Amino acid sequence: MQLALFIIFGALAVAGALNLLLQRHPINSALSLVVVMMSLAVLYWSLGAEFLAAAQVIVYSGAIMVLFVFVIMLLNAGEEERTTGSRAAYIAGFPGAAAIFCLLSFVFLSERHALGLANIGGHLDSGINNIAEISRVLFTKLLLPFEVTSILILVAILGAVVLARKEEQ
């Protein structure tokens, strides 16, 4: 069950990411990013993080991607023209990305047995659920950082309004 879920939604996430890379119209890239985020939500759920799965759907694919699609439509963004890109990207960027991938995969796969197996639902069968666990830590031990993030959001809203406002002559 978990293997089937992992294969289906992992393949869907990788296919969506590759489609983001290959599509030339921004709206197609945005919609394939929604596919990636929805399949990641299923993977979070299979790892026992139900709250994060719901937050991923609501915040990422619900709010952030709608904002992206709004901006794409507002600016009437057309197909991008392919240019050669910068030389630094070819010399340092792509070998660097490939090296990161190879290093991470090598480390993770060689430590496969130490990392163990993932059970569907995880440690949720202990009688207390995920949301209760998260909120207990968030509202007691981490109350100050939680309040600070609300100020961060407020500042971000104000900044977005100021930046996107039309300048009056």
Q: According to CB under 8 A, which residues from 29 to 88 bind another protein?
A: 29-30, 33, 36-37, 40, 43-44, 47-49, 51-52, 55-56, 59-60, 63-64, 67-68, 71-72, 74-75, 77, 80-83, 85
Site string for another protein, 93-132 (x = CB under 8 A): xx-xxx-xx--xx--xx-xx--xxxxxx-xx------x--
CB within 8 Å of 33: residues ≥ 6 apart: 16, 20, 65, 68
Of the residues 26, 35, 42, 57, which one makes contact with another protein according to CB under 8 A:
26
- The owner of tokens 């197609």 is 28
- For residues 36 and 64, is the Cβ–Cβ distance under 8 A? no
Q: How many residues bind another protein (CB under 8 A)?
A: 86
* Structural tokens at position 18: 């590759």
152 contacts another protein (rule: CB under 8 A): yes
- Does the CA dihedral 96-98-101-102 come out positive or negative? negative
Cβ atoms of 78 and 28 closer than 8 Å = no
From the list 13, 35, 38, 42, which residue makes contact with another protein (rule: CB under 8 A)?
Answer: 13
For residue 134, state whether it binds another protein (rule: CB under 8 A).
yes
Q: Determine contact, residues 59/153, Cβ cutoff 8 Å.
A: no
CB of 142 to another protein, least distance (A): 7
Q: HSE of 61 in the Cβ direction (CA atoms, 13 Å)? A: 18
Binding of another protein at residue 142 (CB under 8 A)?
Answer: yes
Smallest gap from Cβ 138 to another protein, in A, equals 6
